[in-house]
Chains A and B, each alone.
Chain A
């Protein structure tokens, strides 16, 4: 199966099971290389539908302090592109869910775009989210990714005009990544669910593609609301905050606890229908 097909299958399975999809994000190599591998195992064991794996980058314009600090820790311990791909390969070998890389464009450019695409295929990764490449600049990446079946999901922000949002949704592989609010990643600022509801409805009226909600999804309650309104919840900074200051088994246990809360949240409550409005 190609990367895009693996993502499609992951979303189809969640839908068939009548639940939302869960996509945790981890920064490769944080808090240290061996714990990083443990955390990915936890994510696979918790039944994550897709895993987003960040290539550490020192100047992450789309990320808030939590992920920026995680990247600094990982870089300080030498985690680069190859080490990140090795972690992705480990998830695949362990029979885990598809892994999407999350990376800024500069490490890709220095690696070489074609070589990077080959390396993703070799590591069994499903594709990459490249947050600082808008669709206008995506030509070269697409040319390398499309023939290899690698996904390039696109982000839609609250500031994206409606017509542009539909074009982005149309061009997005695997799923559409709807950013929950203005600003950068981080658990401190609340998602804007009223906006999300409106935007997801507009996308669904025109484009038949799963929609994932990310940025600011920090709790079970947020995740529940996200999968009520869309197809998937993406959780990053809150997981990193959960293991902050710990490593090894302690970090894994803390991540396990939050993943369990998120897992419960993605399943429909017994009394409620899929599209019921639950106001909390």
Chain B
């Protein structure tokens, strides 16, 4: 998979570094630190060891037996990122960036979080490496995700509720950037997805690439062929970039990104940036953004907090416009139905985010018929969503 160009662009127009001058040198320093680390085999050796012993990699693949409800469907295989330490793919990235922070001599880590999964993964690596962590989280999300807030505190992190704007992930990200601007010298900002200014989209993809590299080898070993389709959910897009990275060079493998349609692609209550957005700049890079005609970022909605974000990683914008990947959307209702179906028929409670990918993959498996081999990234487990789903089901 290619690196972006020297200015951080994927293809002609997606990516870049649209940040206040105060952060420019911090990003340049990060890029130098990243390049040096990426060229150093001992850095990757430590990353690999940590993924093995601390995260529990490689994560297995599992063939579903009852999910599609028909024997006429394609073989549907799950990549089990839900089995990672802390319960999702997020930790692959925080291990990588945490090790980089230590290597660069940074004394403090900051992070943004929406549902709290990235916050927990960051607090976890901070605890392991002995680096203090400050997490920024929208006030509304602090209320909605009280359990994860408590887990972050248990791990020694400080959680800062953000009261600006919509009081959700977008505003937490703004606040993390502002905090970084005030403390560029000693602070490392661990972004949780393939978003943000260059080099973040590239760096986070490289730290998530392990998902696709493992999955490709596992599928080849077990089935003796490549999958026909690879499916992953897309909010910012890090679990999708991670699994796509293993297959983007295989022209015969179709790549599917599944966005959150919320109440529907044509409603105002959606989070599907690639399907319903237009090109703009958010959080430092040019990509698709859900925005008004005047360029104000819109409020978004998804039942899944992890997909409830008005932007998307610039490399996804590039894969969409180049036609290499196809982006579709699944609404709240279908995701919720799949959440239950996966629990009842496979014995796995999936994250609501992952349920979007599973729902589309299940449809695709039925379309492909018995010859198909559909691989879907089960990006996280659903414990964090149980209370919300219970409340939803009572209505």
Contacts and interface: CB of A to CB of B under 8 A. Distances in A.
Interface of A: 57-62, 64-65, 68-69, 72, 75, 80-81, 104-111, 131-134, 136-137, 154-161, 164, 168, 179, 182-184, 189
A156 B280 contact: no
B25 A137 contact: no
B21 A168 contact: yes
A159 B184 contact: yes
Interface of B: 7, 16-26, 164-165, 170-171, 174, 177-178, 181-185, 278-284, 289, 291-297
A8 B181 CA distance: 31
A157 B291 contact: no
Given A61-B174, A61-B178, A111-B295, A106 B280 contact: yes
27 contacts: A58-B296, A60-B174, A61-B19, A61-B284, A62-B181, A64-B178, A68-B165, A72-B164, A75-B296, A105-B18, A107-B296, A110-B291, A110-B292, A111-B294, A131-B20, A132-B18, A132-B284, A134-B24, A136-B7, A154-B21, A155-B20, A157-B21, A164-B24, A168-B21, A179-B22, A182-B182, A183-B22
Contacts of A179: 21-22
Contacts of B22: 62, 155, 157-160, 179, 182-183
B178 A183 contact: yes
A110 B280 CA distance: 7
Contacts of A168: 21
B25 A106 contact: no
A111 B280 CA distance: 11
B188 to A, nearest CB: 14
A159 B295 contact: no
Contact of A59 (B19, B185, B279, B297): B297
Contacts of B178: 61, 64, 183-184
A81 B293 CA distance: 11
B282 A62 contact: no
A160 B181 CA distance: 12
Most buried by B among A65, A106, A189: A106
Contacts of A131: 20-21
A80 B282 CA distance: 18
